[in-house]
Structure 1
């Protein structure tokens, strides 16, 4: 028997949940490179993960297309042609469909099926995975590629089911085109999805009202076709690009400045930020002043520049002031990219309503009513109200580890992981870019590839050793959780009410959900841990149940 065959127990070696970037690559690694038997379950009707569900107008990546994809296969990277700097949803889905076909992945994927529960059996060190269709599968390993932003959040507005018009959520958009022509539309929320959708909805709607609770700092995308000479130069530098993003701070070809904003005059700051503003993208956020993440006085200097830009773009001074964020630092809330968002509010049929000072009291049969009694009659409501991020997708599955302990109960006060990869008491259960990993504070495909490669390395080593389980020690987990919060508390991130802090979900514990170890250093740390006999993990052999 081969090592792979010796490691097989039950129905399959591994179950993978989800077919976004994470699940597809994980299937390829485990099945095609390690020779394991793998089942993949996907709730959607096709591959794509977040890009299968998020089909709202204007949905597109905010990472440059040349690094928003897999780089493990140079031929795949070279041959796939993106049409724009920031690819739209339909193009990303087409890319992932192409990947699924290229590696013949669909034969091991069960679509339209949601994993309802997974339970660890301590007698034979396997997981029993149960689906909403009633199927049960036993596996040695379970890998959750469920995504950070896959559970949509709709606030529990009074009367929400009474609305007689059309209702949509940006995270669960219909597959067929939605036509807003001649309709009075209300958009609730002003996060990244709304920033992309509002300009396009405004082109169709006869009247558009945007209900804003918290104004956002929004940077121009400067989207469009990539010049041929730029595209060709990149193709000649595959190895260099791959190396730079893998060892970068955020998974982009962006570098933070050595000189801080505090050390710079306003004139110097303008000279630094203006070219980044003109270029578009995350340069101002992830490629400028590092001290703006730590010192509010430094952050205020960058905020001044951005406030002035909003006033330049928006004609009506009162509307401009409403669109200027107040009360939190720039960069500590998800930074959307703008393709005409601010300019949309210069149109006579587009209105901005401040629901921070005058909150939404109820959704009525005919529209939206505010606390002061003001009513807005609408034909359609778009809820751009975000997601139960990071932990939400895992909480939706009944996951029971050693002693039958429910994962969501263990995480009731916030996620507890080691490396954002595993949790003590849940052997052989992995989360790809899970909470307390760099994940959403990075270019996601870069972090996904790192986690998938690391998980595959672990599994291959376990099979080679004839080992049964791996899980973090309690001490390693405690240390990682503490380190994660210490890194965050040294910055301004906890001062903002964001989904990074779980603040958008009532009752959710206020803890920092991603990780600030950064992409390159985090990768190096994982490699050191593996090289050092998986420091912080316990590995048990199948024969003896002893620590290896």
Structure 2
């Protein structure tokens, strides 16, 4: 059961629920997470536009409205993972370096008091159709419940994980126990003590969920993790934060929000340009790796040597250190070889590493096991569990399908977006993704999307990318309104050029050698392509802003008036 904000705060639910009438707006925003909230605040308050958010859920917060599974927490450390507006952060204090979902919900509640998002959000409104009306140069948006709105601009801020992915195992619908995708975990929780539990998947969600469920099952329960690929997880190094140290941040905090845009991934740390891996002696390399390891977070991934994700030999050095540190934590030789093999299953860092606290130690418990699905695949799901190819019947009470998402493009291709000729985006992107600057698509006038395809997205701190894109969009729309421009869309040539740029950056790294959700490899039949921009935040920011004020690569039409 999900929280219903309209009952808790009836005054906060937008009154524009239409009742059969068409709601006329300047801008429609889809999604009330960081991106949608940022755009609403600035379009409404800075540009004076009549804007509304359509949100499928019953409250603001985006992914933090939906995520409430045990262990759910952000993997970007604060304070970079927050709005840069001093009116929001000025009197807010975090309790820990990597906040969990409850604290992130409390943060959005605090941000709501400052930003007033709910009053212009229409909840329980899943968008299922959006079409461009060339006669009036407006978007017509329809929701699952029949609400209709028209607006000059459409901003899609659904993020990169909006469409869940499920395995195509025979008999999955026959399972009679408790079964949930973690993004639909019951808000009231699940009592797993003494139960036979399975977690399928070892992405970030699978790691977080397994880590916590292993502590909840008790001595009489069991946890089995079904793993297709080892997660090369790195230490979170979680810690509590004090009010005093956060007060000390305040003199530097605004500078931090500026400097995060100068680093590859929008954090306060960056790759080391020099010396490179083999310009250090083995002893210096060991010392450098150890410092990154102790710092925790993504330091070992994206504050390391600049050649780690580009040079195979350099990458192998990083993996050797990771394997040595991780294998020492796992007592059982069989489990150790499945979870942290001596030979790298793929180039380190070409699948997004998860941050863990004591994930590997949990497998030292006799009632916590791991199954290698590549060696022993699932044959079928039955009423009381899973049968693997070797004939073993794994009896289960609870099945958690941490099988991820049709990431980056899945959500946008699943909301009925149609171009000016009536062609669905699903069809447009059936054989590959084409955007301009990871923000626009040709044939879709006056439409932009945040934290999605061919932007830094999954290679970035999410709020950094959202604010980089959002700031640019607000400047762009302000300029268009001042110049009397009624419609704007990218040229086909600019879209082709951006795809080539995304592909060029991708092919200069080790990423093409790894199949992952980064390139659509986790969803059968999905085109294999790089879905994120690997050029880094500074280059991305430059690419955006060099289009202002002259708008190269765009076609515009001015108002007849």
Q: Which TM-score applies when normalising by structure 1?
A: 0.95
RMSD: 1.4
2:204 matches 1:192: yes
Alignment correspondent of 1:153: 165
Write the distance in 2 (CA, Å) between the matches of 1:97 and 1:229. Answer: 23
Instruction: Give 3-state SS (helix, strand or coil) of 1:14's partner.
Output: strand
1:277 is aligned to: 293
Per-residue CA deviations over 1:347-383 (Å, capped at 9, x if unaligned) read 1110111111111111110101112211100110011
Q: Does 1:323 align with 2:339?
A: yes
Deviation, 1:521, is 2.0
Residue 329 of structure 1 contacts residue 496 of structure 1 at CA under 8 Å; is this kept in 2? yes
How far off is 1:154 after superposition?
1.1
Counterpart in the other structure of 2:246: 231
Given that 2:69 and 2:189 are in contact with CA atoms closer than 8 Å, whether structure 1 keeps it comes out as no
Contact preservation (8 Å) 1:24, 1:100: no
**Among 66, 75, 95, the residue aligned to 1:53:** 66
* 1:287 counterpart = 2:300: no
Q: Could you tell me which residue of structure 2 aligns to residue 265 of structure 1?
A: 281
1:538 paired with 2:555, answer: yes
- Residue 227 of structure 1: how far off its partner (Å): 4.8
Matches within 5 A, 1:119-134: 119-134=131-146
Q: Could you tell me which residue of structure 2 aligns to residue 103 of structure 1? A: 115
Any conservation in 2 of the 1:12–1:37 contact (CA below 8 Å)? yes
The residue number in structure 2 matching 1:6 is none
Tell me if structure 2 keeps the 8 A contact 1:85–1:224. yes
What SS does the aligned partner of 2:45 have?
helix
Structure 1 runs not aligned, ≥5 long: 1-8
Q: Which residue of 2 aligns with 1:4?
A: none
- 1:27 is matched with which residue: 40, 46, 58? 40
Q: Deviation digits for residues 189-223 of structure 1, max 9, x if unmatched?
A: 11101111112101122111111110011111111
Q: Tell me which of 222, 231, 239 is aligned to 2:237.
A: 222
The residue number in structure 2 matching 1:3 is none
In structure 2, the residue matched to 1:516 is 534
What is the distance in 2 between the residues matched to 1:198 and 1:89? 16
How far is the alpha carbon of 1:20 from its aligned partner? 0.5
Report what 1:64 is aligned to.
77
- 1:153 deviates by 1.0
Q: Where does residue 335 of structure 1 map in the other structure?
A: 353
| 2:16 aligned partner | none
Task: Select the residue among 422, 430, 435 that pairs with 2:440.
Answer: 422
Which deviations, in whole Å up to 9, do the C-alpha atoms of 1:19-48 show, x marking residues without a partner? 000111111111111111112111111111
Aligned to 2:477: 459
Aligned positions of 1:124-523 closer than 5 A: 124-205=136-217, 206-227=221-242, 230-257=245-272, 258-324=274-340, 326-523=344-541
Q: Aligned-pair distance for 1:239?
A: 2.7
Shift of 1:232: 3.3
Tell me the distance in 1 between the aligned counterparts of 2:280 and 2:315: 12
Contact 1:262 1:291 in 2 (8 A): no
Alpha-carbon distance in structure 2 between the residues aligned to 1:163 and 1:478? 46
Q: Is the 8 A contact 2:437 2:543 kept in 1?
A: no
Contact kept, 8 Å, 1:269 with 1:302, in 2: the verdict is: no
Question: Are 1:41 and 2:58 counterparts?
Answer: no
Q: Deviations over 1:224-269 (max 9, x none)?
A: 2025564333222123212210221111111211122133333222
Could you list the per-position Cα deviations for residues 173-195 of structure 1 after superposition, in whole angstroms to 9, with x for gaps in the alignment?
Answer: 11112111110001111110111
For residues 149-169 of structure 1, the C-alpha deviation after alignment (integer angstroms, 9 at most, x for no partner) is 121111121111111110011
Any idea what SS the aligned residue of 2:421 has?
Answer: helix
Say which SS state the counterpart of residue 447 (structure 1) adopts. helix
SS at match of 2:369: strand
Looking at structure 2, the residues matched to 175 and 413 of structure 1 have their Cα atoms a distance apart, in angstroms, of 38
SS for the counterpart of 1:66 is: coil
Contact 2:443 2:489 in 1 (8 A): yes
Q: Hey, what does 2:102 align to over in structure 1?
A: 90
* TM-score normalised according to structure 2 size: 0.93
Report the alpha carbon displacement of residue 488 of structure 1 after superposing the two structures with TM.
Answer: 0.1
